Structure 1
Amino acid sequence: MAKSLKILGVHGLGDQRLSDWQTKWPEAVRRAFPATEGVELEFEFIVYDDIFEKTDISAWEAMGAVAKLVASGVSSAISPHRGILGDVSEKIRWTAGYVVAWVEDEGFKTRTRKRVFERITAFEPDVILTHSLGSLVTYNAFTHPEAQAEDVAPLLRKATYVTFGSQINNPFVVRNLTNGRVQPLQVAAWRHLYNQHDDVFTAPIRNWPVANFRQIETPFDEPGVGDHSAEAYLGHNATIDNLWRPLADALDGKGLAGARAFAALAEPTPGKARSKARAEPKPRSKRRKALLVGINDYPEGSQRLEGCVNDVFTMSAVLQERGFEPEAIRTCLDGRATADGILSRLRWLLDEPAAGDELVFYYSGHGAQIPEYGEDFEPDHNLEVLVPWDFDWTPGRAISDDQLHGLYAQLPYDTRLALIFDCCHAGGLHRDGAARARGITPPDDIRHRQLRWDKATEMWVPRSFRRINSGFTAEAGVADRYFGRDGATRRLGRAAMLRGLSAAENTALQKANAAQAEGPYLPLIIEACGEGQLSYEYRHGVISHGAFTFSLANLLRRQRDLSFGELVVRAGAQLAELGYDQAPQILGPSAVVGAKVIGL
Structure 2
Amino acid sequence: MAKVTKRAVLVGCNYPLTKNRLYGCMEDVRAIKRVIMDKLGFQESNIQVLTDDDHDGARGSSSLLPTGANIKAALNDMANKAKAGDVLFFYFSGHGTAIPVLEAGKPFRQDEAIVPCDLNLVTNVDFRRLVNRLPKGASFTILSDSCQTGALIDKAKTGASKKRKPQENSPMAKGKAKAKFLGFEFIHQAIIAAAGFPQDGGNTISQAAHKIFGKDVSFKFHPHYIGGAFELDPLQEDEGILLSGFEADEASYDIVSDDRAFGAFTDAVVTLLKDHTSAKISNGELAAGAAEALQKQGYEQSPCLYCSKNNTHQDFLGGFA
Are positions 1:531 and 2:248 aligned together?
A: yes
Please give the per-residue CA displacement for 1:154-184, whole angstroms capped at 9, x wherever unaligned: xxxxxxxxxxxxxxxxxxxxxxxxxxxxxxx
130, 155, 178: which one aligns with 1:436: 178
Secondary structure, aligned partner of 1:303:
coil
Q: How does 1:226-245 map to 2 (within 5 A)?
A: none
Are positions 1:390 and 2:113 aligned together?
A: no
Please give the per-residue CA displacement for 1:198-254, whole angstroms capped at 9, x wherever unaligned: xxxxxxxxxxxxxxxxxxxxxxxxxxxxxxxxxxxxxxxxxxxxxxxxxxxxxxxxx
Name which structure has the greater RCO, CA cutoff 8 Å, separation 6+: 2
Are positions 1:294 and 2:22 aligned together?
A: no
Q: How does 1:536-555 map to 2 (within 5 A)?
A: 536-539=253-256, 541-555=258-272
291, 311, 328: which one aligns with 2:28: 311
Q: How does 1:92-241 map to 2 (within 5 A)?
A: none
For 1:566 and 1:387, how far apart are their aligned partners in 2?
A: 28
Amino acid in structure 1 at the alignment position of 2:97: A
Specify every segment of 5 or more residues in structure 1 that has no aligned partner in the other structure, as ranges.
1-282, 392-396, 448-489, 491-496, 499-518
The corresponding residue for 1:425 is 148
For 1:554 and 1:540, how far apart are their aligned partners in 2?
A: 17
Amino acid in structure 2 at the alignment position of 1:365: G
Q: CA deviation at 1:531?
A: 0.8
The corresponding residue for 1:365 is 94
Q: CA deviation at 1:590?
A: 1.8
Contact in 2 for aligned 1:425/1:532 (Cα 8 Å): no
Q: CA deviation at 1:338?
A: 0.9
72, 75, 82: which one aligns with 1:346: 75
Are positions 1:399 and 2:127 aligned together?
A: no
Q: CA deviation at 1:350?
A: 1.1
The corresponding residue for 1:588 is 307
TM-score, L = length of structure 2: 0.68
Q: CA deviation at 1:520?
A: 3.1
Quote the RMSD (CA, aligned, Å).
3.0
Is the deviation greater in 378-387 or in 338-347? Answer: 378-387
For 2:283 and 2:108, how far apart are their aligned partners in 1?
A: 34
The corresponding residue for 1:333 is 51
Q: Which has the higher helix share?
A: 1
Specify every segment of 5 or more residues in structure 2 that has no aligned partner in the other structure, as ranges.
54-64, 150-171, 190-219, 221-227, 230-235
For 1:525 and 1:444, how far apart are their aligned partners in 2?
A: 26
TM-score, L = length of structure 1: 0.38
Please give the per-residue CA displacement for 1:557-593, whole angstroms capped at 9, x wherever unaligned: 1114321101111110110111111000001122221
For 2:67 and 2:186, how far apart are their aligned partners in 1?
A: 24
Query: CA, structure 1 residues 362+528, in 2 after alignment: closer, same or farther (shift >3 Å)?
Result: same
Contact in 2 for aligned 1:324/1:599 (Cα 8 Å): no
Amino acid in structure 2 at the alignment position of 1:554: T
Amino acid in structure 1 at the alignment position of 2:262: H
Are positions 1:563 and 2:294 aligned together?
A: no
Secondary structure, aligned partner of 1:408:
helix
For 1:599 and 1:402, how far apart are their aligned partners in 2?
A: 31
The corresponding residue for 1:381 is 109
Q: CA deviation at 1:302?
A: 2.2
Q: CA deviation at 1:373?
A: 4.7
The corresponding residue for 2:3 is 285
For 2:74 and 2:96, how far apart are their aligned partners in 1?
A: 19
Q: How does 1:442-591 map to 2 (within 5 A)?
A: 442-443=184-185, 520-539=237-256, 541-559=258-276, 560=278, 561-591=280-310
The corresponding residue for 2:200 is none
Please give the per-residue CA displacement for 1:252-280, whole angstroms capped at 9, x wherever unaligned: xxxxxxxxxxxxxxxxxxxxxxxxxxxxx
Larger radius of gyration: 1
For 2:37 and 2:181, how far apart are their aligned partners in 1?
A: 29
Amino acid in structure 2 at the alignment position of 1:435: A
